[in-house]
């Protein structure tokens, strides 16, 4: 799409782990730099209790990792479509609704984009997963409606939605010289989304593209779920998960599941949980494990540990081992993690994603042999086991890796220019 003027609207990829904003402009990068010259803004809000400030993105995460007192909120997108969205929490002694947390983050995202673009944005195309919520169409519609309400509340007067893998397909299409049938595999922080799309330079000129979309499907499994599985399998046992009490019963697991899930970590910090874990330590066969857990709760180090697990997962995507530190609440302790351990922990998720893909081909009315290209995008699409298993389903297709963090935002910008025009 060539024009001498910039697009009227932008494309917004509000992601579970990272967010981007794309805007088509002549001879300039599509993605706007949002923080430190980078196009990604981690979807993080940190309420710094020491100076009573609110920090977003890398700056907020760094404040937390540096040990500032405060409250970290991450994976905010996971609240959409859940019962938690209408609830709230307490931050620095004041109640705040989760809906308002999302509003603050998206308002900040808009402000950063406008500062970099040198103009106000009142129209936008927002990306959305194929399913915000699996197997619940009413909750899915409500999730999109909630995101729309938030977007309007921060100043977007016109907005529309596009499936994230379709947006990635539009970005891939800008580099094509011939027609292809493409499977887009978008493995993000919170969902895995798939589209089979017919793409070509000629088809790219059309405003309405639904006839080119052969099938869409998705499942609510993403990078944070792989973090969770790795944590539960290899890290939480160091804190007592699956260990026993003196009466032979297993220690209740709910706290470990909360600590392994980004958006429920703060549930571990209540007085009730503290008292319960102290009681359990007295009856534990391995009380030293519960001592580590109590130290983590006391130091509010749950997000720090989740970050260590996430970094280990990323490292294991490119190397065979990774060293995970528990230093912040258990000085001197480390855990060596291996690729094979990660593969074993991830297998149940990979198999569910595979099952979603096998449903997609009949819906599209094509065979695996008809797929010309598998296009990977999303930050979690680099997980080796997952990539191997997906590619094996389409042995004749070539495998292309897009911009893992930017393809969706760039594709949403292309779609925004088509829908709202150039200025």
Average pLDDT taken over every residue of the chain: 95
- Give the pLDDT confidence of 6-45 residue by residue, as tens digits: 999 999 999 999 999 999 999 999 999 999 999 999 999 9
* Predicted pLDDT at 83: 87
All domains in the chain, ordered by first residue? 10-177+403-420 (3.30.420.40), 224-343 (no CATH)
Residue given tokens 């673009």 in the structure block: 117
Strand partners, 193: 186, 218
Q: Facing residues of 10 across strands?
A: 124
Amino acid 278: pLDDT: 97
Centroid of chain to Cα 369 = 31
Evaluate if residue 300 carries a pLDDT over 90.
Answer: yes
Report the pLDDT averaged over residues 252-272: 95
User: Are 410 and 383 contacting, i.e. CB atoms less than 8 angstroms apart?
Assistant: no
Residue 271 in this model has a pLDDT that exceeds 80: yes
pLDDT of residue 11: 98
Which of 35-49, 76-90, 114-128 is predicted with the least confidence, judged by mean pLDDT? 76-90
The per-residue pLDDT for range 328-372, each reduced to its tens digit, is 999 999 999 999 999 999 999 999 999 999 999 999 999 999 999
pLDDT band at 3; cut points 50, 70, 90: low
Give pLDDT, residue 378: 94
Examine the pLDDT at 65 and tell me if it is beyond 60: yes
Query: Can you tell me the distance from the alpha carbon of 94 to that of 188, in angstroms, rounded to the nearest whole number?
Result: 32
- Residue 114 has phi, psi (to 5 degrees) of -70, -35
Question: How many CB atoms neighbour CB 118 within 10 A?
Answer: 7
Q: How far apart are CA 129 and CA 139, in angstroms?
A: 13
By C-alpha distance, which of 73, 190, 91 is closest to 131? 190
Q: What pLDDT shows up at residue 135?
A: 87
Burial bucket for residue 170 (CB in 10 Å: 0-12, 13-18, 19+): buried
- What does the pLDDT look like over 130-169, one tens digit per residue? 999 988 999 999 999 999 999 999 999 999 999 999 999 9
Structure tokens at 396: 């004749």
pLDDT at 413 over 70: yes
pLDDT digits (tens, 9 = 90+) for 195-231: 999 999 999 988 888 999 999 999 999 999 999 999 9
């Amino acid at each position: 799409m060539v024009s001498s003027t910039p697009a009227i609207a932008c494309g917004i990829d509000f992601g579970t782990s990272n967010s981007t904003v794309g805007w088509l402009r002549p001879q300039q990068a599509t993605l706007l730099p949002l923080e430190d010259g980078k196009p990604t803004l981690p979807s993080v809000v940190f309420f710094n209790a020491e100076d009573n400030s609110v920090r977003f993105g890398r700056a907020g995460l760094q404040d937390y990792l540096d040990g500032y007192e405060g409250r970290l909120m991450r994976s905010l997108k996971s609240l959409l479509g859940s019962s938690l969205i209408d609830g709230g929490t307490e931050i620095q002694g004041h109640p705040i609704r989760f809906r308002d947390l999302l509003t603050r983050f998206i308002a900040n995202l808009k402000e950063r984009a406008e500062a970099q673009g040198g103009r106000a944005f009142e129209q936008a195309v927002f990306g959305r997963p194929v399913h915000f919520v699996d197997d619940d169409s009413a909750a899915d519609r409500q999730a999109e409606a909630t995101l729309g309400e938030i977007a309007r509340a921060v100043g977007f007067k016109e907005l529309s939605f596009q499936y994230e893998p379709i947006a990635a397909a539009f970005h891939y299409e800008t580099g094509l010289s011939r027609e292809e049938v493409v499977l887009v595999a978008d493995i993000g922080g919170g969902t895995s989304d798939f589209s089979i799309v017919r793409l070509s330079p000629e088809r790219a000129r059309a405003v309405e593209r639904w006839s080119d979309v052969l099938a869409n499907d998705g499942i609510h499994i993403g990078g944070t779920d792989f973090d969770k599985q790795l944590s539960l399998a290899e890290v939480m046992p160091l804190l007592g998960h699956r260990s026993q009490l003196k009466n032979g019963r297993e220690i209740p697991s709910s706290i470990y599941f909360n600590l392994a899930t980004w958006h429920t970590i703060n549930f571990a910090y209540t007085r009730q949980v503290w008292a319960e874990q102290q009681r359990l330590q007295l009856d534990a066969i391995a009380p030293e494990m519960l001592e580590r857990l109590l130290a983590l709760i006391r130091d509010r180090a749950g997000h720090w540990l989740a970050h260590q697990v996430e970094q280990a997962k990323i490292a294991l995507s490119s190397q065979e081992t990774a060293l995970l530190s528990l230093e912040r609440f258990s000085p001197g302790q480390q855990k060596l993690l291996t690729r094979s351990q990660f593969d074993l922990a991830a297998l149940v998720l990979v198999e569910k994603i595979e099952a979603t893909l096998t449903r997609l081909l009949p819906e599209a009315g094509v065979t695996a042999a008809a797929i010309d290209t598998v296009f990977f995008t999303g930050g979690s699409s680099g997980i080796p086991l997952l990539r191997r298993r997906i590619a094996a389903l389409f042995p004749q297709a070539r495998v292309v890796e897009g911009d893992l963090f930017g393809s969706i935002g760039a594709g949403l910008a292309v779609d925004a220019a088509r829908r709202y025009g150039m200025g």
